C-alpha cells in the first residue's frame, strides 16, 4: 500500500500542477513539440531578417507578428521583420540578390523569385511536406513557386482583387447585382455615370489595382502579351478590342484616374466619391474599423459588397489576383531556420489564426484551408476564398519567369492602356509601342 506521506502528496500536487500548467500553454506546447518534430532544425544562434510588404490591413499585421512571436518561442530564433512599401520590395530584393547581402527572407509579389532563380535556396522539401499535409497546392502556386521543376519559393498567401461596389447605387442605376459579362458591365458603368455616381479603376502606376484590372481586360478579350512559347503576340485584333473596351469604360470613370496609384481608389471610395472600383478587401476592412466612430463609415460598410469580375468574350474568367511568394536568399547563414519558418507559418495552428486575423485579405494556396472559419464569418468576404484557384498567372500564357516579372515591373500593359484611355496615343500606336517593348524584354 502506498504511504500517504508528505512526500507523495507533494509529488501528486506537483504533478497536478504541472498538468494544469500544460493545458494553459497548449499553444506553446504545440510549438515546442513542432520544433522537436520538424525536419528543419534551426542552426545554433540563428537570427533571421524578413522583409515584407507593408500591411494593407492592420489586423493582418498583428496576426502575422503573433505568428512570428510563436515561432521565436518555439525555436528560440529571433526574427526581425522589416516593412517596405509594396513597390519597393522588388528593387530591394534585386539589389540584395546581386550584392549578396541583406535580409534572409523576402516576401514579395508575383514572380519576384524568378528574377534571380540562381540566388535563391531551393525549398522543394518544405513544399512537398506542406502539400502532403494540407490537401495539395493550387495550380497557380506551383506555377509561381517552381522553376525548372524545383520549388524556389512558396506563395504563402494571395490577395483577391475583386470589384468593390455600393449596392444602393447600382440598384439606383438599374442593376441588382454586378453583371457577369463585359457588355452588361459597360452598361452598368454608363448608368452609374448617368446618375452622377461614377466608378473608377486606377490607371496610374498602381502595381496592385492597376495591373489587376488591365490584365483582366486584356485577357477577357483574348489578348495576350506572349503565347505559351514566350513569343510576342500582343499585336492582335483581340488586344485592340480590349483597348477599345477600356476606352469606353474610361469615358464613364470619374475624372482623374490616370493619376491614381493604389491608394487613391480607397480614398475616393471611402469618401463616397466613387461607387465602384477594384480592390482587395481592405476598403471593407477600413470601413468596418471606422464604423463605430463614424456613421459614414458604418453606412459604407453596410452598403458595400464585393463581386467577381465579369467574363469577357473569351468565355471564361480571366482574373489576375496578387500572389505573395516568400523566398530564402542563398547568402543567408541560416537556411534551415528560414525553411523552418516557412513551414511553421503554413502549419494549421498558425496559418488558421493568421487567415482569421487578416479578415480575408489573405487567401490560402493549400486546399485544406478552404475550411477556415474566416470564409464563413462574413458573407461579404466569402468571395475571395477561391482567388488562388481562379487566378491566372503573371505572363499570361507564357512563362512565369524573369521576363514576365520584367514586363510587370515596367508597367508594359498598364502604360499601354493608360495612353489609349487618356487619348495620348491611338490604339494602333499604343500596341506598337508595347509590342516593341515586349520584344525587347522577351528577346
Partner 1 sequence: MPEAVIREPAAAITAPSLWSRLKVNRDWLGAWFMLPAAAFLVLFLAYPLALGIAYSFTDARIGQDIWSAPWAGIDNYLWLIEDDPFLLAVFNTLFYTFVASVLKFAIGLYLAILLNNHLPFRAIIRAIVLVPFIVPTVLSAIAFWWIFDPQFSIVSWSLRQMGVISTNIDFLGDPWNARWSVIFANVWRGVPFIAITLLAGLQTVPPSLYEAATIDGASRWQMFRYITYPLLTPIIAVVMTFSVLFTFTDFQLIKVLTNGGPAGATELMATLSFNRAILGGQRIGEGAAISTAMIPFLLACILISWFGLQRRKWQQGEAND
Partner 2 sequence: MTDVPKILHAPPSAAAPLTDESEGMRYLERLPRKLVTVYLPLGIIILVLLFPFYWMTVTAIKPKEHLLDLDSHSPFYTLSPTLDHIVDLLFKTDYPLWLWNTMMISVVATVLALLASVFAAYAIVRIRYRGAQWVGGLIFLAYLVPPSILFIPLSTVIFEYGLFDTPFALILTYPTILIPFSTWLLMGYFKTIPYELEECALIDGASRWQILWKIVLPLAVPGLISAGIFCLTLCWNEFIYALTFINSTQHKTVPVAIVTAFTDGDQYRWGSLMAGALVGSLPLVILYSFFVEHYVSAMTGAVKE
Residues that bind partner 1 in the complex, under the rule CB under 8 A: 87, 90-91, 94-95, 97-99, 203-205, 254-261, 264, 267-268, 271, 273, 406, 409-411, 415, 418-419, 421-425, 429, 432-433, 436-437, 440-441
234: CB partners within 8 A, 6+ apart: 223, 224, 225, 226, 431, 434, 435, 438
- The least CB distance from residue 340 to partner 2, in Å, is 25
Helix 124-133 to helix 335-346 angle (10° resolution) is 20
- Cα gap 199→191, rounded to integer Å: 10
Q: Note whether 282 and 164 are within 8 A (CB).
A: no
- Under the criterion CB under 8 A, does residue 363 sit at the interface with partner 2? no
CA 5 from chain centre, in angstroms, equals 63
- The least CB distance from residue 63 to partner 2, in Å, is 15
Quick one: cell of 41?
532544425
- The least CB distance from residue 161 to partner 1, in Å, is 20
Q: Name the residue nearer to partner 2 (CB basis): 238 or 262.
A: 262
Q: Name the residue nearer to partner 1 (CB basis): 204 or 290.
A: 204
Q: Name the residue nearer to partner 1 (CB basis): 258 or 368.
A: 258
Q: DSSP per residue over 280-329, as a string?
A: -THHHHHHHHHTTT-HHHHHHHHHEEEEPPPB-TTSS----PEEEEEEEB
If you compute the radius of gyration of the chain from its CA atoms, what whole number of angstroms results?
Answer: 24
Pairing of strands 78-84, 304-307: unpaired
- The least CB distance from residue 273 to partner 1, in Å, is 5
Quick one: cell of 441?
524584354
- Under the criterion CB under 8 A, does residue 298 sit at the interface with partner 2? no
Residue from 5, 23, 36, 99 touching partner 2 (CB under 8 A): that is: 99
- Under the criterion CB under 8 A, does residue 196 sit at the interface with partner 2? no
Q: Name the residue nearer to partner 2 (CB basis): 36 or 99.
A: 99
- The least CB distance from residue 159 to partner 1, in Å, is 21
- Under the criterion CB under 8 A, does residue 80 sit at the interface with partner 2? no
**Residue 410 site contact among partner 1, partner 2, none (CB < 5 to 8 Å, cut-off depends on kind):** partner 1
- Under the criterion CB under 8 A, does residue 434 sit at the interface with partner 2? no
- Cα gap 238→397, rounded to integer Å: 15
Residue from 90, 94, 257, 282 touching partner 2 (CB under 8 A): that is: 282
**Residue 263 site contact among partner 2, partner 1, none (CB < 5 to 8 Å, cut-off depends on kind):** partner 2
Exposure class string for 278-303: b at 16+ Cβ within 10 A, else e:
bbbbbbbbbbbbbbeeeeebeebbee
Stretch that binds partner 2, among 7-15, 230-238, 259-267, 330-338 (CB under 8 A): 259-267
- The least CB distance from residue 293 to partner 1, in Å, is 20
- Cα gap 344→284, rounded to integer Å: 29
Residue from 41, 47, 92, 330 touching partner 2 (CB under 8 A): that is: 92
Q: Name the residue nearer to partner 2 (CB basis): 102 or 200.
A: 102
Positive/negative CA dihedral, 352, 357, 360, 361: negative
Nearest to 212 by CA among 86, 360, 321, 56: 321
Backbone dihedral angles phi then psi of residue 271, each to the nearest 5 degrees:
-95, 5
- Cα gap 85→88, rounded to integer Å: 5
Residue from 108, 198, 200, 208 touching partner 2 (CB under 8 A): that is: 208
- Under the criterion CB under 8 A, does residue 203 sit at the interface with partner 2? no
- Under the criterion CB under 8 A, does residue 415 sit at the interface with partner 2? no
- The least CB distance from residue 223 to partner 2, in Å, is 26
- Under the criterion CB under 8 A, does residue 93 sit at the interface with partner 2? no
**Residue 237 site contact among partner 2, partner 1, none (CB < 5 to 8 Å, cut-off depends on kind):** none
Look-up of cell digits 498558425: 350
- Cα gap 17→9, rounded to integer Å: 12
Nearest to 299 by CA among 311, 307, 291: 291
Q: What are the residues binding partner 2 (CB under 8 A)?
A: 53-58, 82-86, 88, 92, 95, 99, 102, 208-209, 262-263, 265-267, 270-271, 279-280, 282, 286, 293-294
Amino acid at each position: 500500500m502506498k504511504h500517504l506521506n508528505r512526500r507523495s502528496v507533494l509529488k501528486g500536487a506537483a504533478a497536478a500542477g504541472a498538468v494544469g500548467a500544460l493545458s494553459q500553454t497548449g499553444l506553446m506546447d504545440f510549438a515546442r513539440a513542432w520544433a522537436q518534430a520538424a525536419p528543419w532544425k534551426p542552426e545554433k544562434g540563428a537570427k533571421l531578417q524578413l522583409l515584407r510588404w507593408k500591411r494593407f490591413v492592420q489586423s493582418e499585421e498583428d496576426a502575422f507578428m503573433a505568428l512570428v512571436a510563436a515561432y521565436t518561442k518555439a525555436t528560440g530564433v529571433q526574427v526581425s521583420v522589416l516593412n517596405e512599401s509594396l513597390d519597393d520590395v522588388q528593387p530591394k530584393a534585386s539589389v540584395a540578390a546581386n550584392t549578396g547581402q541583406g535580409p534572409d527572407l523576402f516576401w514579395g509579389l508575383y514572380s519576384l523569385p524568378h528574377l534571380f532563380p540562381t540566388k535563391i535556396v531551393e525549398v522543394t522539401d518544405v513544399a512537398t511536406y506542406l502539400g502532403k499535409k494540407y490537401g495539395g497546392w493550387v495550380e497557380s502556386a506551383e506555377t509561381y513557386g517552381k522553376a525548372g521543376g524545383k520549388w524556389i519559393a512558396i506563395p504563402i498567401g494571395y490577395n483577391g482583387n475583386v470589384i468593390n461596389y455600393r449596392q444602393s447605387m447600382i440598384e439606383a442605376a438599374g442593376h441588382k447585382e454586378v453583371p457577369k459579362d463585359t457588355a452588361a458591365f459597360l452598361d452598368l458603368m454608363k448608368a452609374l455615370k448617368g446618375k452622377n455616381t461614377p466608378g473608377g479603376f486606377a490607371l496610374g502606376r498602381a502595381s496592385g489595382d492597376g495591373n489587376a484590372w488591365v490584365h483582366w481586360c486584356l485577357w477577357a478579350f483574348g489578348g495576350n502579351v506572349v503565347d505559351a512559347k514566350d513569343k510576342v503576340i500582343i499585336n492582335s485584333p483581340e488586344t485592340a478590342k480590349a483597348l477599345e473596351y477600356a476606352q469606353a469604360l474610361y469615358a464613364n470613370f470619374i475624372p482623374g484616374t490616370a493619376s491614381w496609384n493604389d491608394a487613391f481608389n480607397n480614398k475616393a471610395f471611402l469618401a463616397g466619391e466613387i461607387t465602384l472600383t477594384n480592390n482587395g478587401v481592405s476598403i471593407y476592412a477600413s470601413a468596418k474599423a471606422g464604423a463605430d466612430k463614424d456613421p459614414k463609415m458604418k453606412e459604407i460598410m453596410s452598403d458595400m459588397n464585393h463581386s467577381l469580375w465579369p467574363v469577357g468574350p473569351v468565355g471564361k474568367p480571366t482574373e489576375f489576383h496578387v500572389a505573395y511568394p516568400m523566398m530564402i536568399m542563398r547568402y543567408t547563414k541560416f537556411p534551415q531556420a528560414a525553411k523552418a519558418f516557412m513551414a511553421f507559418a503554413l502549419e494549421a495552428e498558425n496559418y488558421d489564426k493568421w487567415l482569421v486575423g487578416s479578415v480575408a485579405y489573405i487567401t490560402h494556396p493549400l486546399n485544406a484551408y478552404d475550411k477556415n472559419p474566416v470564409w464563413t464569418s462574413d458573407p461579404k468576404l466569402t468571395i475571395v476564398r477561391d482567388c488562388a484557384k481562379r487566378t491566372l498567372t503573371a505572363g499570361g500564357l507564357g512563362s512565369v519567369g524573369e521576363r514576365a516579372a520584367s514586363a510587370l515591373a515596367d508597367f508594359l500593359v498598364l502604360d499601354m492602356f493608360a495612353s489609349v484611355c487618356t487619348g495620348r496615343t491611338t490604339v494602333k500606336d499604343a500596341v506598337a509601342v508595347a509590342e516593341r517593348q515586349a520584344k525587347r524584354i522577351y528577346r
